[in-house]
């Protein structure tokens, strides 16, 4: 009975920690929209650094004694690619790491990708390919979680010069093209009052993985 109660407690604590981490990200996004100092030409790492600056200054972060880092090496003893464990240059580096060490140890990871539904040009004239970004979202985003390369966490799409619905439809179209109809993104409310969130379900080695997706629109 004690072990069962402990399992329930830790599952509940983990869920609450996940919601806290996502809430801080969404609050940072809202602050960024008010601040308006971002540039749609930015690479995803610049958007991430900008958002994390708001997370660091959010009183909720300090109140909950959270550590927040950019691009750490995830603690993962089950890296799927042989030979990467002892090779720093081949270790995965996820975009955002949250950590809390109180009564329980909690960690949460967020991987971010720029995404758009239509080709567009940056200020310097370079072309942004919507199809390449959507394919990259799948290959280096979804796949890294599904294969276990990244530990527990969620994917964030920085929607540039587009809208979330069109981007999700485009990602789903590619998944269906790859005969992955059962892995498409479906609407899912993670935070009350925030609409642009989805989940996808994946089977890997007799395990079902429920992956959450958050989309933040910049234009």
pLDDT digits over 77-123, tens only? 444 444 444 455 555 689 999 999 877 789 999 999 999 999 999 99
In a domain, 69, yes or no: yes
CA pair distance 114, 44, nearest whole angstrom: 6
In a domain, 79, yes or no: no
| The two three-digit tokens of residue 135, written as one number | 């394919």
In a domain, 110, yes or no: yes
113: β partners? 157
Q: Residue 8: how many CA atoms within 13 Å on its side-chain side?
A: 5
All residues at 6 or more sequence positions from 58 whose CB lies less than 8 Å from its CB, including other chains: 24, 27, 28
Distances (CA, A) of 186 to 114, 171, 182, 216, 218: 19, 11, 10, 16, 21
Quick one: what percent of the chain has pLDDT higher than 90? 74
Q: How many structural domains are present in the chain?
A: 1
The answer on pLDDT for 134 being more than 80 is yes
CA pair distance 139, 192, nearest whole angstrom: 30
CA pair distance 15, 19, nearest whole angstrom: 6
In a domain, 84, yes or no: no
Nearest CA-CA partner of 215 in 141, 144, 165, 145: 165
Q: Residue for token digits 């919507």?
A: 130
| The two three-digit tokens of residue 111, written as one number | 């991987």
In a domain, 114, yes or no: yes
184: containing domain? 2-74+91-218
In a domain, 154, yes or no: yes
In a domain, 34, yes or no: yes
Check: CB of residue 138 under 8 Å from CB of residue 174: yes
The answer on pLDDT for 54 being more than 80 is yes
Alpha helices in 58-128 (DSSP H): 59-63
CA pair distance 168, 87, nearest whole angstrom: 35
Q: Using one digit for the tens of pLDDT, what is the confidence trace for 69-90?
A: 998 765 544 444 444 444 555 5
In a domain, 83, yes or no: no
User: DSSP states of 25-74 as a string?
Assistant: HHHHHHHHHHH----TT--HHHHHHHHHHHHHH-HHHHHTT-EEEESPPP
For residue 29, name the pLDDT band (cuts at 50, 70, 90): very high
Q: Which pTM was predicted?
A: 0.87
């Amino acid at each position: 009975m004690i072990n069962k109660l402990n399992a329930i407690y830790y599952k509940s604590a983990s869920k609450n920690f996940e919601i806290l981490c996502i809430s801080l990200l969404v609050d940072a996004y809202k602050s960024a929209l008010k601040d308006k100092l971002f540039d749609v030409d930015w690479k995803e790492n610049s958007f991430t650094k900008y958002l994390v600056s708001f997370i660091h200054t959010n009183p909720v972060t300090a109140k909950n004694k959270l550590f927040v880092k950019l691009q750490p090496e995830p603690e993962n003893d089950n890296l799927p690619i042989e030979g990467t464990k002892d090779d720093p240059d081949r270790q995965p580096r996820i975009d955002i790491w949250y950590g809390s060490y109180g009564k329980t140890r909690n960690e949460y990871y967020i991987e971010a990708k720029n995404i758009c539904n239509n080709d567009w040009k940056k200020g310097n004239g370079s072309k942004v390919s919507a199809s390449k970004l959507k394919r990259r979202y799948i290959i280096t985003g979804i796949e890294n979680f599904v294969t276990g390369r990244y530990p527990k966490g969620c994917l964030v799409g920085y929607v540039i010069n587009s809208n979330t619905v069109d981007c999700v439809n485009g990602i789903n179209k590619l998944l269906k093209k790859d005969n992955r109809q059962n892995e498409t993104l479906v609407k899912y409310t993670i935070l009350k009052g925030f609409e642009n969130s989805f989940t996808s379900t994946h089977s890997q080695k007799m395990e079902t993985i429920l992956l959450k997706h958050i989309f933040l629109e910049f234009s």
